[in-house]
Amino acid sequence: MAGLQRSFMFSAIDRLGNIAINLVTMATVARLLTPDEVGVFVVGAAVALVIQTLRDTGAAIYLIQEPNVTREGVQTTFTISCIIGLILAIALYLLAAPVAALYSEQRLRPILQIMSVGVLIACLANVPVALIRRDLEFGHIAVINLLGSLVNLVAVIILILSGFSYLSLPWATVASLSAMTITTICLRPLPWMYRFDLSEWRRVLEFSSYSSVAAILSNALTMLPQFIIGRMIGFDAVGIFSRAVIICQLPDRSVLSAFMPVVLPALAAEVRDGADLRPTYLRGLSLTSVIYLPVMLCIAFLAQPVVEALLGDQWARAAPLVRILCIASLCLFPVSLNFPILVAKGRIRDTVTMMLILLPLTALVIFVSAIYGLTAVALTAFITAPAQAGLSFWFVRRQIPFEWKEIASSIRDSIIVMLCAGLVPMMTVIAFGSRPDLIPAAIAAAGATAGWFLGAWATAHPLLSYLTASARMFLSRLTRRANSSGK
């Protein structure tokens, strides 16, 4: 348990540190570039992300969940990852011109060509990172990710001020990936890994092929609105919508994602030991919902001041979209936990099936709604989000039988905490309108924080015990280091 708590602590430091740096980066870029320039990069990065998902070939998940990882298996995974990475880098480079022609936007061409370099560089880090995660060495992961975010921030600022405009963003991405790759190789030096070996290719590809397809479909589902908006409405609209989505993803990226890198290895270990995952799953829903639900509700109430504080006045059109997306996405709290549950149970194929159902539905409703503008696209989340949550629950229930009343019981206290946290922001909006000044907005944020702690204390929510234990562990480590340095 102590080892798992230590992993959660390092993962939390990683994610919270990264979100702080990325918020500074986003705020800086929003004030130095226009929505149109950001939108062009978003579309290019979306194309690159969908393609480079194949680069991993499921290496990370395969090496994490495989009971007995052999040296040959590691070498085979690295070999396959590099071969596919080279092919994809070339493919992305060659696709640059056709994609630019499709969108009638030549600025996309250099963006995709630059991003192809990043695809190739990152291949070298896939396997070492997977092995670090398997061993729950999340202190190393924190170092890698934080350094990458810092390099990205510094590179973006320098390049924009040097006149690179929208090209600053892909070049900064390449610089960040280079720094992360070098750091990863230094932290996990495995010279024997670089030997060409395909002896276990069947075993690696049998699992990783489904994992890669699931990842591609998942990324395609996430990026689908940007693709359609860019083609039907324009790149300015892509920039506005993408920033609204990023703000709505803050609870997941800043807090919940701190737990997810640890959850998959931990669940995989429990499955290997033959443990019953139902209590773990229900406890996980309780812990994730008590963070996700209150933060999403509060962002919905304070959408306007949040957007203006993070992005500036020129992005004010994103605020109504943020409000819609946050409310519609309240039902998505189980999704981040359901994926590692299915992977740990060896049901990666179920995730592929789920994405194949969701993708055409999402494409249809977004394509039709895009005719009526950005607000209509945002409103489609009231269709797609419940569909995604319901399907993921259905697939998990086939592997972990549970009663719906157990789900209701596991999130009951979280709903109470959500209502307590949202009370002051709601009263602030009623009293001052949807655009409160700085002082009322600050009071609302402080009231939301106090309401969260009050609700968690009143319901004796289990997350408080986890936070208390982690704080004690952190203080204990600091005390031991201080004592040892004083001797």
The pLDDT score that the predictor gives to residue 12 is 64
Asked if 59 and 129 count as a contact pair (C-beta separation under 8 A), the reply is: no
Q: 7-60: per-residue pLDDT in tens? A: 556 666 777 777 788 888 888 898 888 888 888 888 888 888 777 766 655 555
Dist. CA 409–CA 403, nearest whole Å: 10
The pLDDT score that the predictor gives to residue 66 is 65
**Average of pLDDT values for 283-307?**
89
The pLDDT score that the predictor gives to residue 439 is 86
* Neighbouring residues of 267: CB distance < 8 A, sequence distance ≥ 6: 277, 280, 340, 341, 343, 344
Other beta carbons within 10 angstroms of residue 403's beta carbon come to: 9
Other beta carbons within 10 angstroms of residue 478's beta carbon come to: 10
Model confidence, pTM:
0.74
Q: What is the mean pLDDT of the chain?
A: 82
**Average of pLDDT values for 384-404?**
88
The two three-digit tokens of residue 183, written as one number: 């750091």
Pick from 448, 452, 486: nearest CA to 467 = 452
* Neighbouring residues of 364: CB distance < 8 A, sequence distance ≥ 6: none
In a 13 Å sphere around the CA of 152, the CA atoms on its Cβ side amount to: 25
- Give the start-end residues of each E strand in 156-265: none
* Neighbouring residues of 293: CB distance < 8 A, sequence distance ≥ 6: 330, 333, 411, 414, 415, 417, 418
Q: Amino acid identity, residue 471?
A: A
The pLDDT score that the predictor gives to residue 486 is 57
The pLDDT score that the predictor gives to residue 18 is 78
What H or E segment, with its residue span, contains residue 484? Answer: helix 462-486
Confidence of residue 203 (pLDDT cuts 50, 70, 90): low
The two three-digit tokens of residue 143, written as one number: 């170092």
Three-state DSSP state, 357 = helix
The two three-digit tokens of residue 199, written as one number: 């002896």
